Amino acid sequence: MFLKALFVSKPASIFRYARESGGDASKLLRIMKITAILLLVTALQVSANGFSQSITLSVKDASLESVFKEIRKQSGYNFLFSYDELDKAMPVTIQVKEATLEEVLTKCFTNQPLSYSIVDKVVIVKKREEVADHAISNRSLFIDIKGIISNEKGEPVIATVTIKGTDISVTSNTKGEFVLKGVNENAVLVITGVNLETREIKVDGKINLEISVKTKVKEEKEVIVTAYGIEKSTKELGYSAVKVSGEDINRANPGNLLMGLTGRVSGLNISQQSSGMNPQMRVLLRGIRSISESTNNLPLFILNGAPLSFGSDQVSASLVMDFVNNINPVDIEDVTVLKGANGTALYGPEGVNGVIIITTKKGNKGSPSINFRNHTSFQKLDFRYVTFQTQFGSGTGGVDQFGNGVYDPMGFNGWGPAYNGQLVPIGFEDENGDIQRVPYSYTKDRFHFFSVAKQVQNSLSITQADSKSDFYLGLNYANQSGLIPKDVQNRASILLNTARQVGKLNVRTNIAYTRTNGNYGAPQSTVLSLPAHIRITHYKDYVNDHWSDQNHYPMNGENPYANIDRVRAKTTENALFGNLTFTVKPNNWLTLIARPGINYSGYYEKETAAPINFSDFAKMFGGGFRRKDWLASVKEKMVSTTALNSDFLVSTLHNTGNLLIRTSTGATIRENYTKSIRAAALSLAAPVFNLDFNSLPPGVEERAVLSRFYSLFGTGTIGYKDRIFLEITGRNDWDSKLAKIARNKNFYYGANTSVVLTEVIPSLSKINWLTSARIRASVTRTANMNIEPYQAERLFTLTAPFPYNSLLSYNLLRGGYPNPMLKPEKIISLEYGGNFSLLKDRIVFDVAYYRQQNNGLILKVNNGWLSTAPTIDNAGKFANFGWEFDLKLNPVFKLPNSMSFTAEGRFSFNNNKVLELSPVYDGRLQATETAGMPGAAMTARTGHSAYEYEVFDWLRDPSGRVIVDRVTGMPSVDRSHPVVTGRSLPKYTAAVNFNFSWKKFTLTALAEYRGGNQVFAAQQQNMIKNGLHPLTTLNGRQRFVFPNSVVDNGSGHYTENTDVLVSSAGQEFYALVAQANIHFLNSADFWKIREIAISYEIPFKSKWAKKVGFNFYIRDPFSFYPKSNISGDPLLIRGPGDRPYQTIQSNLSGAYSEVGRLPGTVLCGFITNISF
């Protein structure tokens, strides 16, 4: 055993003897006892003087020996102790200022297995004396405690554990573990930490503790990432901004970021317009700001500080939607939505429609963390809300002498006789005179043609961080099969987000790469129109089954199963995003940021169609489809798009007394380049899918577009006492899309302010139930250059063979004269709002009003292309306005057994108005892209909302009654007076979501409402024409008196029609109904249960796993539509199958549905998470 004394000066010889000679310890102790007796009186006198000396000490988890050294330096007292006993002592945490020696020693020896005494100026440390057993029962025991601290999600947290009433504390490690020795069995532990609610736990003699703490939620302290990655607290913002966590996005997400955002942000309308593996998505934030059908109204997407952008025009912006679909939602930390132009003025023309900022995960401090996630989902078509007539079968429209439909064994249409269950022939006789016969009964067999789509995703993430670096690697592989049989797709992606601090320089690298391979069949848009008594699923084996092959398939068309194999499109898409962020902080108030980046999208598609060689018999008797062979064909498409971006930002932050001054100035350089090559060989001489094998020169198209712009911008914020804030912004662009003469005129500016009323008005802070109240206001003048490159100047095109066959020449490109003086659309945006928190943040209410006025609509004007007058100009004014309301109840209730219930609600109102149009429009702008609306049109009128529907109704008398022919009883369509009615955009949107949790169990649900708009159901119009609509069964297809009709009595007066029957109650009559297309303008209102998710985290203790969680969810399980909607989901406007690579988001998108659209889908999935 060794003894040690610590001295200020040279050690006394007695103690030096013990160290140097290693003499007998017992002999030494006897000497010490004698010395102690001789010095007793002196020690008592000296101790009074020694204790009066002041000591200042601040240490955390320090060894007792090191504390003794520090006390020795300040007091001059020496310490005598045994190393064996000192090894049993617990670390010491103590903070005192000008304390006496005895006060310091008392704190050091509290709950220690040691005691002390003072002799002269020597503190003698010894083992605490044992007490008799009978005495132990009269006092508390001291125990050693081990514990684990976790948050409400079960994740380990770093926290400080303090013994209440003392300064003794320890800090848990990255696994949440802590150890306290020598703790009173009746002690109370106080757990505190950054962003943690303080909690007290009574020990009650327990030596193993599992402690759960809750994360603090402070709305006003929340940090929001704004333009160019500038972080601000929410109280600074003079505009609306909403943050959605990655956890909420992924709770019931089949692998698409936008689906996870649906219904979670007021004013953000996300519509899934197709049900394929690459769904067509439309995103609008606070409506539209421009009404030309080809202008861009999509918000700007930002990924890790850099724009996902290929240009501000509509075609370029639409490419981003494919890019966004490639982002793995599992890698997302959060998404911030900056609404309208007020929060996005620094982004220029691309930010005028709002900004969606995507932030991916970064490394977590501590030991390496590995997370594996398996996600398996199934999607099925939902036919619950679609209605077909079920009474009549195949017929082309002919009737017998009694007016009944005539059966057609090869007909697609439903104008045949009523179903009777008897055997009927289908198709045509084969070479042997045989023919198929099936029961003439209605079946739903065609509904089963479509597959159950399946997706399996496996994600792996690896993360780690320390004080100088962080690392996050996300890997994902997804395998999909589609709703169309044999449609398959696979996607592999990688995300790397890493940073390193080197002195004052921080370098962050973001790289995301995705490769998608697809193999798709042709869209099967006619399957649902097949005769219901023919069981299409019986014709799968078209190779071996006689009646299923191309020569004998009973319909006058191709077997859809054969078509799926014959026509295939194979695609490969590579998407790359990358940026480097260099951040330098020369001092506390200055930050320099440089961020170069690149976006790349490369797409290749090859569509092949195998030939069909029919037999001579089939060519003669098999119908028009088989009259001649079908040649093989091949089409190829290559599109590559590259966007180079470089941002430089200088930010300052000063806190001078009561003032906060924040400034940011910077510059942006952007270059976008797109090249596409398309070729088609539609008559291959042999089934070799190569362009060289075409019997004629293949058709080829090549296009290259380059654009560039430069920007300078700046912003300044002044805050007073952290309660009043004012921000001013400004930016100027130089855009190559403008003619040179019109450049350098794109300066825009804005201002916004925020005031925390509860801190400005003292009386409000005294209201017990009012936690905080803040109001905000902003005004911004921005610009939107809604034209494509080269659209502002006259273009030439190559022309041949004119005027001579061997000489090429150039001609003016048709399309009219542009306006070199074309100006950006100048948009004035106003916003007013407030945020109010009640009952200690249990109730949070936010309200906002906005108005955006476009004073320079860019429109195509109706001037002749040879007139030299501009055919594109600033030709109108337009206003967009609305309200938004958000309510959070957190919690609705909370019980002591950890059961809680929270709720959120959102409601928004949006409307618009055409204020002015160029005189050439005569007060009405009619859209041209309405091929999917037979006989109808879309219109924007001065003084009305955009867009409205222009449809036709029956010819009516002044009282509104339908005028019918007095002989035939048939109505007429009034084509002289088209009806303009309805609106294409929803006026009202709302969402409600709930969260119920109990221990490790969580149940969430989200419901969404949209209403106040219509959709033109082209599918219903087609069903009327083909006799498949329920309306076509009116009166059993027997002649009837047209309801509410009148006839002209010959004198120009109308009398009620009571006895003139329609001359036809079949195809002839309903062909007229299809022309009166106002009947197909249906309400697009709906309520949807968007998602229901159940999750459970299994308590798991293992050396190889930290936690295991399971999640089951279902999307769109229930929908509620008006009775007039017999087509299903009004948002789905396209059928399944491959879609064009460039999904151009026309302003008419969603206004009408295609003939081949499907009624809707239900999707469910299982998620397993394992953290290592």
pLDDT tens per residue across span 860-890: 776 665 666 777 888 899 999 999 999 999 9
**Separation of alpha carbons 56 and 293, rounded Å:** 75
Whether 1114 is in a domain gets the answer no
22 plus 68 within the same structural domain:
yes
Q: What is the largest CA-CA distance in the chain?
A: 143
Average pLDDT over residues 679-708: 92
What pLDDT shows up at residue 657? Answer: 76
Q: Which of these ranges, 688-692, 779-783, 1033-1037, has the smallest mean pLDDT?
A: 779-783
What pLDDT shows up at residue 1140? Answer: 47
Higher confidence at residue 22 or residue 469? 469
Q: What is the pLDDT of residues 648-666, one digit of tens each?
A: 999 999 888 788 899 999 9
Angstrom CA distances, 600 to 308, 319, 574, 636, 1138, stand at 10, 11, 8, 20, 22
Whether 305 is in a domain gets the answer no
113 plus 192 within the same structural domain:
no
**Separation of alpha carbons 35 and 13, rounded Å:** 13
Number of domains in the chain: 3
Six-digit token string for 1113? 């969810």
Q: Which of 109, 128, 147 is the last residue of a domain?
A: 128
Q: How do strand 1014-1017 and strand 1152-1153 relate by DSSP bridges?
A: parallel
Dihedral angle computed from the Cα positions of residues 365, 366, 372 and 378, in that order, rounded to the nearest 10 degrees: -40
Average pLDDT over residues 184-193: 88
**Separation of alpha carbons 407 and 421, rounded Å:** 13
**Separation of alpha carbons 1122 and 1130, rounded Å:** 11
Q: How do strand 55-62 and strand 973-981 relate by DSSP bridges?
A: unpaired
Residue 708 has pLDDT above 80, yes or no: yes
Average pLDDT over residues 287-291: 90
Beta bridge pairs of residue 119: 122
What pLDDT shows up at residue 610? Answer: 96
Angstrom CA distances, 293 to 45, 53, 818, 946, 1148, stand at 98, 85, 17, 10, 6
**Separation of alpha carbons 1040 and 1042, rounded Å:** 6
Residue 1005 has pLDDT above 90, yes or no: yes
**Separation of alpha carbons 343 and 339, rounded Å:** 6
959 plus 1079 within the same structural domain:
yes
Residue 140: domain span: 134-212
Q: What is the pLDDT of residues 502-520, one digit of tens each?
A: 999 999 999 999 999 999 9
958 plus 1078 within the same structural domain:
yes
Q: Which of 128, 148, 167 is the last residue of a domain?
A: 128
Spatial neighbors of 833 by CB under 8 A, at least 6 apart, are 239, 240, 775, 776, 777, 846, 847, 848, 849, 884
What pLDDT shows up at residue 41? Answer: 35
Residue 642 has pLDDT above 70, yes or no: yes
160 plus 55 within the same structural domain:
no
The one-letter amino acid code at 792 reads A
102 plus 155 within the same structural domain:
no
- Tokens 């151009």: give the residue: 1144
* Angle CA 118–122–123, to nearest 5: 55
Whether 121 is in a domain gets the answer yes
Q: Which of these ranges, 114-128, 424-438, 1007-1021, has the smallest mean pLDDT?
A: 114-128
Note if the bond before 891 is cis, omega within 30 degrees.
yes
**Separation of alpha carbons 61 and 109, rounded Å:** 14
25 plus 115 within the same structural domain:
yes
What pLDDT shows up at residue 552? Answer: 96
* Contact between 324 and 257 (Cβ < 8 Å): yes
Q: Which of these ranges, 179-183, 332-336, 877-881, 1161-1165, has the smallest mean pLDDT?
A: 179-183
CATH of the domain at 159: 2.60.40.1120
Best CA proximity match to 187, nearest among 93, 110, 104: 110
Residue 1145 has pLDDT above 60, yes or no: no
Spatial neighbors of 567 by CB under 8 A, at least 6 apart, are 521, 522, 607, 608, 609, 610
- Tokens 């002592």: give the residue: 89
Residue 29 has pLDDT above 80, yes or no: no
Beta bridge pairs of residue 352: none
- Give the Cβ contact number of residue 727 at 10 Å: 24
Q: Which of these ranges, 485-489, 565-569, 1048-1052, has the smallest mean pLDDT?
A: 1048-1052
Whether 890 is in a domain gets the answer no
Whether 478 is in a domain gets the answer no
The SS3 assignment for 866 reads: coil
Whether 445 is in a domain gets the answer no
Residue 50 has pLDDT above 60, yes or no: no
Beta bridge pairs of residue 118: 123
72 plus 88 within the same structural domain:
yes
Whether 31 is in a domain gets the answer yes
Note if the bond before 801 is cis, omega within 30 degrees.
yes
165 plus 78 within the same structural domain:
no
Whether 1045 is in a domain gets the answer yes
Residue 44 has pLDDT above 70, yes or no: no
**Separation of alpha carbons 309 and 601, rounded Å:** 11
CATH of the domain at 75: 3.55.50.30
Residue 264 has pLDDT above 80, yes or no: yes
Q: Which of 1065, 1083, 1101 is the last residue of a domain?
A: 1083
966 plus 1048 within the same structural domain:
yes
Q: How do strand 122-127 and strand 78-82 relate by DSSP bridges?
A: parallel
87 plus 112 within the same structural domain:
yes
What pLDDT shows up at residue 33? Answer: 45
The SS3 assignment for 845 reads: strand
Residue 195 has pLDDT above 80, yes or no: no
**Separation of alpha carbons 780 and 354, rounded Å:** 13
- Tokens 């109240």: give the residue: 773
Most confident of 220-229, 697-706, 851-860, 1088-1097: 1088-1097
What pLDDT shows up at residue 48? Answer: 36
Six-digit token string for 1014? 């219509």
* Contact between 593 and 648 (Cβ < 8 Å): yes
103 plus 27 within the same structural domain:
yes
